[in-house]
Structure 1
Amino acid sequence: MLTENKLSPQSEIHYSCYYTRSCGGEQFIPEHAFSFQISGNLTLTGTDNVYTFSPGDFRLSRRNQLVKFLKEPPPGGEFKSISVFLDQQTLRNFSMEYGYKAQNKYEGDSIITLAPNPLYESYIHSLQPYEHMQQSGNKNLLSLKLREAILVLLQGNPELKDVLFDFSEPGKIDLEGFMNKNFHFNVQLKRFAYLSGRSLATFKRDFEKIFHMTPNRWLQQRRLQEAHYQIKEQGKAPSDVYLELGFQDLSHFSFAFKKTFGVAPSRI
């Protein structure tokens, strides 16, 4: 089942490990994350693209992004990755100390693929002793590793300053275009509101002016329309469609589909 998780780490350095079976879901990424794929494959579906990462790949996930993920362990093995989260306060402090500032608005991918770099590799290898050092007493050591990650990223990709030191919050954007691009994410309305640059009350008011119905009703109708198209025209299985389009479970999807179209999705 796809569920939204706020990818807000319990610690600055986060290890992800899954055994034998694939794991899928949704995440909201509130902070930049510098990650390395240790084993297995990771597929991330954002609002702009689909990204696939294999062992040895580095990536930077930009903050304030919605993604669907699929973690696939290798045959007989386990899925492993490591991520270092760069919170806004750490980046602000770094900016003031070293004088780094964003100069241009970054308009690139939400997940940035980073070319292999000896500095990246050395840094990731240095993190192994910190796996079990998340206690408060090691805060200063962990803080140094975060600052090191920022320096390493800037050394390998100086243009990342426009990503890391952009401290602006999402601005008010075209709501109709935003919702048609993101309706398949099963997230709370307050998340849609925030990412479209609105308070929840303003989001609901603007939404009904544009779509002439409540957000929840529109989301279900839009998802069902897309499901009908994918099943009938693209030959997809209902069990695949409901996951892709943000329904909580297959039974709820089938009930809503039959109520809307008068026939079960398996009968299309």
Structure 2
Amino acid sequence: MITIPKYFSESNLNKDVVHKMGGNTVVLLNRQNETERSRINLTQHLIAFGIEGKKYFHSLSDDTILYRNEAIFLKKGLFLTTEKVLESNNYKSILFFVDDNLLLNFFNKNGKYFLHPSSNEDLPNYFKFENTPNLSAYINSLLPYFENRNVLNEPLFKVKFEELLLNFILNDRQHFFKKFLVNLNKKNSYNLREFMFQNYTRNLRIEDFAYLNGMSLSSFKRNFEKTFDLTPAKWLKGKRLEKAEFLLQTSDHNVGEIALEVGYENLSHFIRVFKSHFNITPKKYQEKFT
């Protein structure tokens, strides 16, 4: 498990440029190789900006991908991440790690923009910002501060951070981002049964489900069996095949698409599991309903 931003303060990665300012950290992240799925313990809120390549984020609530010229605001907590390089053979992003005091000061200074009633609904662990001309211009405006490691100081960082949030908020006409900010430190109610029924089709291993729930693998299996009277492996296999059977009967998606929809990234593995359970390949099973 990698604890960040502490990781960037202690590692000696020549390609990364790290600015530390009081309780906040800003990093220009450079990677030439794709990374395997990593376990991340995020101890501060994070705003990540995509510059090159793409990055996968897996949270307790769902999965998302950060592309070039997009941004994502992650609540502190547990995540799984994977970095992918594209044709440039490089993954690059800018990371803003933000302490609670900086956010609290922002709330106090700009309270008039948060008059919209907060919602009682459970909100996700992240908020995504798609590519827009304003966001692209903002990301490009940050790059010169990494050409000289001593240029970005604390007062300037606070100004750039406030500029970013104000742009997001003033263009947030449906109040989604305002609700996300207001609920940052809210403890969502948790129910293992509800969580698994909402997330069993995600391409996650049992170890990943345990990690995102903040449990050891043994604790997760123990709690799971108390809840479902089945091991996680048997329950996941049954639910995924049940969903696959339904999709093969009712949808016009091909077998590869259905495999992905029910959490199988490897098509040949999905075919083997399906055939061992139903004594027929998914393709031939689908043909019976066409």
TM-score (norm 2): 0.58
- Residue identity in the other structure for 1:124: I
Larger Rg: 2
Match of 1:239 among 229, 232, 256: 256
Q: Which has the higher contact order (CA 8 A, sep 6+)?
A: 1
Match of 1:123 among 89, 114, 138: 138
User: Secondary structure at 1:242's aligned position in 2?
Assistant: helix
Aligned partners of 1:116, 1:82: CA distance in 2, in Å?
Answer: 19
Aligned length: 246
Aligned partners of 1:157, 1:208: CA distance in 2, in Å?
Answer: 44
Aligned partners of 1:250, 1:184: CA distance in 2, in Å?
Answer: 14
Q: Are 1:211 and 2:228 counterparts?
A: yes
Aligned partners of 2:142, 2:262: CA distance in 1, in Å?
Answer: 37
What is the CA-CA distance between 1:117 and the residue it aligns to?
7.4
Residue in structure 1 matched with residue 49 of structure 2 by the alignment: 35
User: Secondary structure at 2:94's aligned position in 1?
Assistant: strand
Whether the 8 Å CA contact 1:28–1:67 is kept in 2: the answer is yes
Q: Are 1:156 and 2:167 counterparts?
A: yes
Most deviating of 162-171 and 218-227: 162-171
Whether the 8 Å CA contact 2:78–2:214 is kept in 1: the answer is no
Match of 1:111 among 127, 147, 156: 127
TM-score (norm 1): 0.62
Whether the 8 Å CA contact 2:58–2:64 is kept in 1: the answer is yes
Whether the 8 Å CA contact 1:193–1:203 is kept in 2: the answer is yes
Whether the 8 Å CA contact 2:55–2:66 is kept in 1: the answer is yes
Alignment of 1:86-101 (within 5 A): 86-87=96-97, 90-92=98-100, 94-95=102-103
Aligned partners of 1:191, 1:49: CA distance in 2, in Å?
Answer: 12
Whether the 8 Å CA contact 2:71–2:130 is kept in 1: the answer is yes
Q: For residues 139-165 of structure 1, what are the alpha-carbon distances to aligned partners after superposition, in whole Å with 9 as ceiling and x for unaligned?
A: 874877864553223222458577568
RMSD: 5.1
Change (3 A) 1:183 1:65: farther
Whether the 8 Å CA contact 1:45–1:68 is kept in 2: the answer is yes
User: Secondary structure at 1:127's aligned position in 2?
Assistant: helix
Match of 2:274 among 227, 240, 257: 257
- Residue identity in the other structure for 2:142: L
What is the CA-CA distance between 1:215 and the residue it aligns to?
0.9
Aligned partners of 2:253, 2:37: CA distance in 1, in Å?
Answer: 21
Structure 1: segments with no counterpart, 5+ residues:
1-5
Aligned partners of 2:166, 2:213: CA distance in 1, in Å?
Answer: 33
Structure 2: segments with no counterpart, 5+ residues:
9-15, 17-26, 170-174, 286-290
- Residue identity in the other structure for 1:84: I
Change (3 A) 1:50 1:217: closer
What is the CA-CA distance between 1:213 and the residue it aligns to?
0.8
What is the CA-CA distance between 1:251 and the residue it aligns to?
1.7
Whether the 8 Å CA contact 1:178–1:196 is kept in 2: the answer is no
- Residue identity in the other structure for 1:153: L
Aligned partners of 1:188, 1:169: CA distance in 2, in Å?
Answer: 27
Aligned partners of 1:142, 1:185: CA distance in 2, in Å?
Answer: 41
Query: Sequence identity of aligned pairs in percent?
Result: 22
Whether the 8 Å CA contact 1:33–1:83 is kept in 2: the answer is no
Whether the 8 Å CA contact 1:34–1:84 is kept in 2: the answer is yes
Residue in structure 1 matched with residue 12 of structure 2 by the alignment: none
Change (3 A) 1:186 1:48: closer
Change (3 A) 1:253 1:49: closer
Whether the 8 Å CA contact 1:247–1:253 is kept in 2: the answer is yes
